[in-house]
Amino acid sequence: MRRILLSIFLILTACSGERVKPPIDRSFQDKDIPAQESWNAVVTFSDSGKIRAILYAGHIRMYPEKNETLLDSSIKLDFYDINERKTTTLTSKRGRVDDLTNDLFAIDSVVALSDSVTITTDEMMWRNKDRKIVSDKFVTILSPKEKIQGYGFESDQNLKNYVIYNITYITRRDTL
């Protein structure tokens, strides 16, 4: 009986000490947590029942409070014409979608490719309201006839009609 009382006394005295609380990191903001995430995602955009674009992304994170969606791990966006034929493919390492305007910003190693034109740059934006591809960065355009380089670019999403605002270099393709 004496041993039992001694054991209970030791247990109670050992448990009555000051409790140790683990440190809490209060710098973490819950706005840094995406509301939704997806890996190896395929998103189809349609209008009036017709496919307009298909987005492939390795990783998608949606932040409704910031009104943005971040894309990374390589993105690819295929654009389709009114007859649902693929006209242009845009690729980049990462990107961002403004969820208010649905504009897509392609960032890092951007390539836009149609059946006859290839455009490379560091950043490019697909503007939803007029379905145009624009960039204010240095761009290189390779067409069957010429190579053009310069700053500032605008094109329809099919890369049929494009403009470079500040041309720095132009040459015929057969001289390359």
Residue 111 to residue 119: CA distance in whole angstroms? 6
Strand partners, 91: 76, 111
Q: Supply the pTM of this predicted model.
A: 0.79
What pLDDT does 62 receive?
Answer: 96
**Paired tokens of 147:** 């190579």
Which residues, given as ranges, of the chain have pLDDT below 50? Answer: none
What pLDDT does 16 receive?
Answer: 59
What pLDDT does 113 receive?
Answer: 96
Please name each of the domains of the chain with its CATH number. 30-175 (2.60.450.10)
CA distances from residue 116 to 80, 90, 107, 137, 165 in whole angstroms, order as listed: 15, 14, 23, 22, 21
Residue 98 to residue 11: CA distance in whole angstroms? 60
Phi, psi of 21 (to 5 degrees): -100, 135
